[in-house]
């Protein structure tokens, strides 16, 4: 019998999230360059979406195998994606051209958009800059349909040019790769009076095309770009050594993957577009019309010559006052669990935790997972120092962390040479858990007080400044032993583990979640208060969504704080007690925190997984209960503040619209900044 429950399509829900990112660029209350950065983020997100998700659907539509959809379903989904993206692109163009560019000009930053706009006092500069700084790096390549197939590199911006020979009247086509590695995309021109001036590199090239092609008349020129399939498929059944070799080879081929998107200036004439499609062997279903200026993810590097436009400083990561002058995490955690919240707290506390392990004579062993680490990582350097100091260091390296494969391979090799024991990806699984374990022993070899760190985010000092995550330090003996058991699973020493407190995906996580939801249903049926609050990045698994639908039907009040994909449909008869909040602000909401009312004795959990099928069934994920009552209240306050946000939060409705929670008459609450103030008042210095 067909289920009465319905679910949003995963990719259409993701597009709704990315549109919410774009809406930040439309918010006049934000600093101008912050709005510009949101256009960059929107564009970068979309690029990755095409490289991975659309590329996957394209393969299925072309006859590839999939457990999730048929060939016809893949084609229909791609058509729906195209419609949504084209609609969003209209808004992106409107925001950029009609709001951002005029706002820059209002702040005395003039952004020349064409040769015709260049003032007389800048014309000589534009000519000489082209001749001296750009022209030496340009290599026009003729485009000859049916003769030579020119290869276009992934995500590189090209200028396509159509010319007419003066002697014969014959039309010729050329393609020019923009020399990003040699010349900045955005060129600052000399200041005039109170005005600053900027110009795109490609517009300077267009203004000087005639100097590149003597004997030709310029017909027209337009930018275009290719997005290629960037997913890397490796054989999960092979040994780690073979997998490493496969990855090394396939990473190098990522930039020559199959075409999944051809983006072009929508003002390009139809006959010109048809020529390019034939010349580059592009299918019509790969077309995405864009603006005159493509690759707007580059706007994150837009110069800001007007220092009066500097954005207000963001919250400065604070040191915890609860630690003594020597900042001994060990000493504090001996007595009481400790929570860190990034980027509000300093990531230096975690680095210091590792340093303490390096220099603690009782510390014999450190175990940690690596999913995504920063380049030149302080975490990795500290682990190497530990190995050099005689500690046994074990690092589980997940090779299949998308777009971090090369960095993970490089850091793994560096650690291996330093004497660190490296465990690579497990066959058929990703290890997404973010956990660290410090084991301590006395002289007789008996285990002493040891320490655990369980996080919602990666051990990455760079992303810890922009991702909103939480991490728990504890010396609870049961959790320490559970995490030690998990590492023994990763080392293939244990095949049927028993976890007492730690919740681990593919073992005891799902049964416990169903039990907690079921208990809330029992409470409401007994006439008692029942409440669930779930904060995560994505909610996609139909089985768990159905559990929430059942709880809603029973009368359980459910609040979801979901930043990205959310396949649960609100405002239906079976979801009338479920509300979906989405927060997009200065920092990327990344924490996974779950609250169950539990008859007035709240249960709080935090860890690495979202409620997606891949996380719940195909990955190793770790979730810890938060046992300390003070820390429970801290997390409850965080969730409460986020649910009260009326500046950057919005409801997701039954049509996937982002309905902003704006109430000018109410007290204005911007959750990220309000939570920082709460933490600062409570324990910062």
Collapse the DSSP code of 555 into the 3-class scheme (helix H, G, I; strand E, B; otherwise coil) and give the result: coil
CATH number for the domain harbouring residue 218? 3.30.1840.10
Question: What's the length of the chain?
Answer: 685
Q: CA-based angle 592:593:596, to the nearest 5?
A: 145
Residues 519 and 489 both lie in one domain: no
State what percent of residues in the chain have pLDDT above 70: 93
Number of CB atoms found within 10 A of residue 191's CB: 12
Element (H, E) at 222: strand 216-228
Provide the pLDDT for residue 204. Answer: 96
Residues 398 and 382 both lie in one domain: yes
Specify burial of residue 316 (Cβ count, 10 A radius: 0-12, 13-18, 19+). Answer: exposed
Q: Find the range with the poorest average confidence among 2-11, 42-51, 396-405, 621-630.
A: 396-405
Give the pLDDT band (50/70/90) at residue 456.
very high
Report residue 569 as tokens: 């449909």
Give the pLDDT band (50/70/90) at residue 374.
confident
Domain annotation covers residue 257: yes
Residues 247 and 373 both lie in one domain: no
Q: At what angle do helices 405-417 and 378-388 cross, to 10 degrees?
A: 20
Q: Say whether pLDDT at 235 is over 60.
A: no
Residues 19 and 106 both lie in one domain: yes
CATH number for the domain harbouring residue 335? 3.30.870.10
Q: Say whether pLDDT at 326 is over 70.
A: no
State what percent of residues in the chain have pLDDT above 90: 74
Provide the pLDDT for residue 685. Answer: 46
Contact 661, 584 (CB under 8 A): no
Provide the pLDDT for residue 378. Answer: 93
Range among 35-44, 153-162, 315-324 rated most confident: 35-44
Residues 552 and 441 both lie in one domain: no
Residues 126 and 250 both lie in one domain: yes
Number of CB atoms found within 10 A of residue 263's CB: 24
Last residue of a domain, one of 277, 309, 341: 309
Domain annotation covers residue 263: yes
Domain annotation covers residue 2: no
User: What are 186-224's pLDDT values in tens digits?
Assistant: 999 999 999 999 999 999 999 999 899 999 999 999 999
Give the pLDDT band (50/70/90) at residue 403.
low
Residue 131: give the domain boundaries. Answer: 10-309
User: What are 260-272's pLDDT values in tens digits?
Assistant: 889 999 999 999 9
Residues 153 and 260 both lie in one domain: yes
Last residue of a domain, one of 471, 501, 531: 501
Phi, psi of 101 (to 5 degrees): -60, -50
**What average pLDDT does the chain have?**
91
Domain annotation covers residue 323: no
DSSP class per residue in 613-678: HHHHHSEE-EEEE---HHHHHHHHHHHHHHHH--SSEEEE-TT--EEE---TTSPP--HHHHHHHH
Task: Report, as an integer, the average pLDDT of 46-53.
Answer: 89
271: CB partners within 8 A, 6+ apart: none
User: What are 87-115's pLDDT values in tens digits?
Assistant: 999 999 999 999 999 999 999 999 998 88
Q: List Cα–Cα distances, 608 to 371, 560, 629, in angstroms.
A: 11, 17, 21
Q: Say whether pLDDT at 425 is over 80.
A: no
Residues 300 and 348 both lie in one domain: no
Task: Report, as an integer, the average pLDDT of 247-259.
Answer: 60
- Catalytic residue, chosen from 122, 432, 590, 597, is 432
Task: Report, as an integer, the average pLDDT of 152-160.
Answer: 88
Contact 386, 364 (CB under 8 A): no
483: CB partners within 8 A, 6+ apart: 367, 435, 437, 452, 454, 502, 622
Number of CB atoms found within 10 A of residue 380's CB: 23
Instruction: Give bridge partners of residue 220 from the DSSP assignment.
Output: 162
Domain annotation covers residue 545: yes
Residues 496 and 555 both lie in one domain: no
Domain annotation covers residue 317: no
Domain annotation covers residue 214: yes
Provide the pLDDT for residue 402. Answer: 60
Provide the pLDDT for residue 280. Answer: 87
Instruction: Give bridge partners of residue 533 from the DSSP assignment.
Output: 559, 595
Residues 440 and 542 both lie in one domain: no
User: What are 554-612's pLDDT values in tens digits?
Assistant: 999 999 999 999 999 999 999 999 999 999 999 999 999 999 999 999 999 999 999 99
Token pair 């390549």 in the structure block, residue: 141
Total structural domains in the chain? Answer: 3
Residues 297 and 390 both lie in one domain: no
Residues 197 and 235 both lie in one domain: yes
Collapse the DSSP code of 114 into the 3-class scheme (helix H, G, I; strand E, B; otherwise coil) and give the result: coil
Number of CB atoms found within 10 A of residue 132's CB: 9
Domain annotation covers residue 320: no
Compute the distance between CA of residue 588 and CA of residue 466 in angstroms, rounded to an integer. Answer: 6
Provide the pLDDT for residue 258. Answer: 74
Give the pLDDT band (50/70/90) at residue 534.
very high
pLDDT top residue among 152 and 342: 342
Give the pLDDT band (50/70/90) at residue 419.
very high
Last residue of a domain, one of 501, 532, 554: 501
Q: Say whether pLDDT at 463 is over 50.
A: yes
Q: Is 432 a catalytic residue?
A: yes
């Amino acid at each position: 019998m067909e289920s009465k429950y319905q679910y949003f399509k995963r990719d259409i829900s993701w597009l709704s999230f990315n549109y919410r990112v774009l809406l930040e660029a439309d918010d006049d209350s934000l600093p101008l360059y912050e709005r510009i950065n949101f256009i960059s983020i929107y564009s970068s997100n979309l690029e990755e979406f095409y490289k991975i998700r659309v590329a996957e659907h394209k393969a299925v539509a072309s006859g590839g195998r999939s457990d999730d959809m048929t060939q016809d379903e893949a084609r229909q989904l791609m058509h729906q994606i195209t419609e949504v993206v084209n609609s969003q692109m209209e808004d992106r163009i409107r925001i950029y051209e009609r709001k951002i560019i005029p706002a820059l000009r209002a702040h005395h930053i003039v952004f020349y958009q064409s040769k015709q706009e260049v003032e007389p006092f800048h014309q000589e500069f534009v000519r000489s800059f082209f001749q001296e700084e750009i022209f030496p790096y340009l290599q026009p390549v003729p485009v000859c349909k049916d003769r030579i197939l020119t290869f276009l590199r992934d995500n590189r911006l090209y200028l396509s040019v159509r010319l007419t020979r003066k002697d014969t009247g014959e039309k010729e086509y050329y393609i020019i790769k923009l020399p990003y590695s040699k010349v900045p995309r955005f060129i600052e021109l000399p200041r005039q009076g109170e005005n600053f001036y900027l110009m795109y590199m490609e517009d300077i090239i267009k203004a000087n095309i005639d100097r590149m092609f003597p004997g030709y008349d310029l017909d027209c020129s337009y930018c275009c770009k290719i997005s290629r399939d960037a997913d890397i498929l490796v054989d999960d059944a092979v040994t780690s050594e073979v997998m490493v070799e496969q990855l090394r080879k396939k990473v190098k081929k990522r930039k020559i993957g199959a075409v999944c998107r051809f983006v072009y200036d929508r003002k390009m004439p139809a006959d010109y577009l048809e020529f390019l499609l034939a010349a580059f062997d592009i299918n019509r279903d790969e077309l995405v019309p864009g603006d005159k200026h493509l690759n707007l993810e580059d706007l994150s590097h837009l110069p800001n010559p007007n220092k009066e436009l500097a954005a207000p400083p963001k919250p400065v990561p604070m040191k915890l006052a609860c630690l003594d002058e020597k900042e001994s995490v060990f000493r504090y955690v001996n007595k009481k669990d400790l929570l860190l919240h990034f980027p509000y707290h300093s990531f230096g506390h975690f680095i210091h935790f590792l340093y303490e392990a390096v220099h603690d004579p009782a510390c014999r062993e450190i175990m940690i997972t690596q999913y995504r680490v920063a380049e030149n990582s302080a975490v990795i350097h500290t682990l190497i120092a530990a190995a050099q100091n005689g500690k046994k260091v074990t690092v589980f390296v997940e090779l299949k962390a998308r777009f971090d494969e090369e960095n993970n391979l490089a850091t793994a090799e560096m650690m291996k040479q330093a004497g660190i024991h490296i465990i690579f990806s497990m066959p058929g699984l990703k290890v997404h858990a973010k956990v660290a374990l410090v084991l301590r022993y006395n002289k007789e070899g008996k285990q002493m007080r040891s320490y655990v760190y369980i996080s919602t985010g990666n051990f990455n000092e760079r992303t810890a400044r922009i991702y909103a995550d939480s991490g728990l330090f504890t010396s609870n003996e049961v959790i320490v032993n559970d995490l030690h058991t998990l590492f023994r699973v990763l080392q293939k020493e244990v095949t049927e583990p028993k976890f007492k407190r730690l919740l681990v995906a593919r073992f005891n996580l799902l049964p416990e979640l169903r039990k907690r939801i079921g208990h809330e249903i029992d409470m409401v049926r007994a006439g008692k208060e029942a409440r669930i609050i779930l904060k995560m990045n994505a909610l996609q698994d139909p089985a768990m969504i159905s559990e929430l639908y059942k709880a809603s039907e029973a009368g359980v009040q459910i609040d979801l704080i979901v930043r990205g994909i959310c396949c649960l449909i609100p405002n239906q008869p079976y979801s009338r007690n479920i509300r979906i909040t989405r927060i997009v602000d200065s920092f990327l909401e990344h924490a996974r925190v779950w609250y169950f009312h539990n008859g007035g004795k709240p249960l709080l959990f935090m860890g690495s997984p979202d409620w997606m099928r891949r996380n719940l069934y195909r990955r190793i994920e770790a979730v810890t209960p938060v046992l300390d009552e003070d820390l429970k209240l801290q997390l409850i306050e965080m969730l409460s503040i986020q649910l009260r946000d009326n500046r950057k939060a919005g409801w997701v409705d039954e049509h996937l619209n982002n309905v902003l929670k704006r109430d000018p008459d109410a007290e204005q609450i911007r959750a990220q900044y309000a939570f920082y103030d709460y933490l600062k008042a409570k324990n910062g210095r």
